[in-house]
Amino acid sequence: MKALILAAGYGTRLYPLTKNTAKPLLTFNGKAMVNWLLEKIQDFTDLNEVMVVTNDKFFPHFQAWAKENKNFSAPISIINDGTKSNEDRLGSIGDIDFVLKQKKINEDLLVLGGDNLFDYDLTDYISFAQKKSPKVSIGLYDIRNIEEAKIFGVVQIDKDKKIVSFEEKPQKPKSSLIAMCLYYFPKASFKFINAYIHQSKKADAAGGYIGWLSEQETVFGYDFQGKWYDIGSLEAYEAAQKNFKLLTNKGR
């Protein structure tokens, strides 16, 4: 298994914080967000590589970061998607497709958004996803607020954890269960990414792809318990700074 951390965005909604710093390199409780992610996957015995895909602007920053983390339990590779601005970014699905082709990957892929900040363990999710292979499994989180759900991909699942409804940023959400940027793509599912890009001519938000895929194939959702923070604005960043610090200082 390989892990891919998506870090090619330009974080424009967090300016000026992200003017010269990639969002995943912002620190929470003294540690970069991306390092909190590394802690969540460091004990996976079948993990043989961690890849971070970034853009040309922040590529040197992540190269320096990789050197600082060279003793991680698996090799870390930094991949430059070649984009130079927010206007020409590839988007999350575009970056996943870029890495799959660039690295010629032929094993299962765990994909994590580089701005994911959460306190729960991923072990049960990986076990769940591997049992559901070759189907795709995604991470879900109940934000318990219908209004706030409007800015996310809203999901409904059945008793078997199959996704029965997926709506990207709906005006009238059917639930408060949302899709996080956390995906387990078995290698047999890679073909669908290429098919989606060719059919839809889109490669930006992963939510669009998951919505499309759930209409073609069975997709499973794993609903996490614990705390998850969306770092999408300065206000959200400041709230997460405070709350995550309190959480981690309690030893959770």
Annotate the chain with three-state secondary structure: CEEEEEECCCCHHHCCCCCCCCHHHCEECCEEHHHHHHHHHCCCCCCCEEEEEECCCCHHHHHHHHHHCCCCCCCEEEEECCCCCHHHCCCHHHHHHHHHHHHCCCCCEEEEECCEEECCCCHHHHHHHHHHCCCEEEEEEECCCHHHHCCCEEEEECCCCEEEEEEECCCCCCCCEEEEEEEEECHHHHHHHHHHHHHHCCCCCHHHHHHHHHHHCCEEEEEECCCEEECCCHHHHHHHHHHHHHHHHCCC
Name all contacts of 130-135 with Cβ < 8 Å and 24+ positions apart: 130/184, 132/220, 133/108, 133/186, 133/188, 134/186, 134/187, 134/188, 134/189, 135/186, 135/189, 135/217, 135/218, 135/219, 135/220
Give 1-117+227-232's CATH code, choosing from 3.90.550.10, 3.30.300.340, 3.40.50.620, 3.40.1110.10: 3.90.550.10
Q: What pLDDT does 228 receive?
A: 87
Q: What pLDDT does 252 receive?
A: 44
pLDDT-flagged residues of the chain (< 50): 250-252
Q: What pLDDT does 245 receive?
A: 66
**CATH class as words, domain 120-224:** alpha beta
Q: What pLDDT does 234 receive?
A: 84
Locate CATH 3.90.550.10 in the chain: 1-117+227-232, 120-224
Q: What pLDDT does 246 receive?
A: 56
Total-model pTM: 0.93
Start-to-end Cα distance in the chain? 27
